[in-house]
Chains A and B, each alone.
Chain A
Amino acid sequence: MTTAPRIRVVHVGGYATVQDLGRRGYRAVGVPVSGALDRLSAAYANALAGNRAGDAVLEVFGTISLALPGDAVVAVTGGQPRVFLDDVEVNPWTPVYCRQGSVLRVLPTGVGRARYIAVSGGVVCEKVLESASTYAKAGMGCLGRPLRPGDVLEVGGADPAEAWDRVADLKPPKELVSKHSRLGESLALRATEGVHAHLLEDLETLLRGYYVVAPESDRMGYRLEGEPLRSAGKLGRLPSIPTDRGYVQVPPDGRPIVLMSDAQTTGGYAVALHVIPPDVDLLAQLNPGQRVRFELVSLSEAENEVVKYLEELESPSLHREELEYWG
């Protein structure tokens, strides 16, 4: 046994918070669900570090550098980040054994945007309403704010050697990793009709063209640029309805916003479409300037996809590394 590791934040170039899979059951008092923007990647990071899917991880947009004062198993997921352990490049989507005193650096690439760093034992910090997810707007969860250099995070007491024995040769599904390696390309987002689809006579517009992720996209919502929905201007404001991640809201200016994890719990703008959860995860990985289009799916298809998604989220399907024969 070595001393329990604590993570020290050495450098942050961007926006980094502690997240888990979200805060459930408090929407009726206006508390957003929050949690990882790309939940599957967060769950896989945990699984690869030997943790439970819902343990707290770091979510990083941009660059981060962490000092790990104790031995730990670490896994980094989300698109195709560049990961360095003491200046040696290591693979994302793979368990990595970090020795006491090592420094882990995660650098952005054009492929993917939200990176998840799981450390064996999981990040342990103040839970608010049963979740460690940081909701910075209300100063809630963990530190209640984005990470800064000098922050020290406690990690749960897992034996890193034991965790390593369990996960060292585990791999995530090939399709998932390859999906994440293609995130530099444009993305089709599967969606059902939204609550107000019947009020938007030019809904077709949204289904026809490409939309581009705007720079002002954050944990609350991803804004899209493209042909505006003119009918939204006539609708203006509707009585507020409960909203969720994946709802495609169209304000009177006609420019769609896909709500993300920190979105407000109710909204008065027309909801045109509802992007299904696995595709919200992928959208979260797109950088400003990348293209998306919407693809309408039936309610039964959506239900089937949600079932698969929830199962995978609860127990990510890892497999033993296949032996490769050469020559």
Chain B
Amino acid sequence: MGGFSEPRIVRSGGYVVHVDVCEELSMECVGEMHKLYYLVKMGLAEAIDEVVPGVTSIAVFYDPRKIGGEKVASKIRELWWQRKSVELEDLHKPKRFTIPVVYGGDFGPDLAFVASWSKLAEEEVVRVHSSRVYRVITLGFTPGFVYMGEVDPAIAVPRLETPRTRIPRGSVGIAGKMTGIYGLESPGGWRLIGRTPLTMFDYRRDPPIPISPGDEVQFKPIGPEEFERLVGVFVGDYGS
């Protein structure tokens, strides 16, 4: 808990203030980061351009014609102390999403590796991965990429040494303590264990993805036939 007593605040470039809540990923840290994220978003909305969450930090983009970085930093410090007296639920009511996934085979080419790394049967890896409710840490990297935690240590495999150049959209992967979904086709280094047929990101919708930091996600194993049936369904329209 000591790490949360005072965040590291760094001003950068004349228009950004970064707040490092802690140096290493833990879900406790993520919870504190989320509180600060929503507090800053609401409490500083007038003064700032944009607030963006990272994994254990946030960045506040401000317009120096309207407010100075020093002032932004001191306001963030105030909000940091205020966060003690509020619950995350009061700032952001978490939504729960169910994501259907076909595990293994062509859908999850690294499932066999994860099984051998963890010394578990493939079915057991699937059971371990899909039995947890994950917390959405942040969205980023590419449009609609969802970072979630925390993965059971038994299957928390390190990322690939050499990233793949082309990963199909909807791919579900593991990288250490995090599991993630590739919203769009992209390169990437996470170990891929499955794929969802749902459309995770659609820029014609507003918002283009209904998932926010602090929301909850549970994966549901499905077969290839159901995958075919669900192709193109928007994540926000899928029941369970």
- Residues of A at the B interface (CB closer than 8 Å) are 24-32, 128-129, 137-138, 140, 191-195, 239-242, 244, 246, 264-267, 274-277, 299, 301-307, 310-311
Contact = CB atoms under 8 A, between A and B. Distances in A.
B61 interface: yes
Interface stretch (B63-71, B105-113, B223-231, B232-240): B63-71
Contacts of B16: 244, 274
Interface stretch (B7-15, B90-98, B118-126): B7-15
Best-buried of B12, B20, B69 by chain A (most CB within 10 Å): B12
Contacts of B139: 28-30
A266 B13 contact: no
Given A24-B49, A239-B57, A307-B65, A128 B203 contact: yes
Contact of A138 (B57, B143, B213): B143
Interface in B186-205: 186, 201, 203-204
Interface of B: 10-16, 18, 20, 23-25, 49-59, 61, 63-65, 68-69, 138-145, 147, 183-184, 186, 201, 203-204, 206-209, 213
A241 B50 contact: no
A27 B16 CA distance: 14
A311 B64 CA distance: 11
Contact of A28 (B51, B56, B65, B183): B51
Nearest to A28: B52
B64 A29 contact: no
B14 A137 contact: no
Given A303-B68, A310-B65, A27 B55 contact: no
A275 B64 CA distance: 16
Given A276-B13, A277-B13, A310 B63 contact: yes
Nearest to B145: A30
A191 B14 CA distance: 9
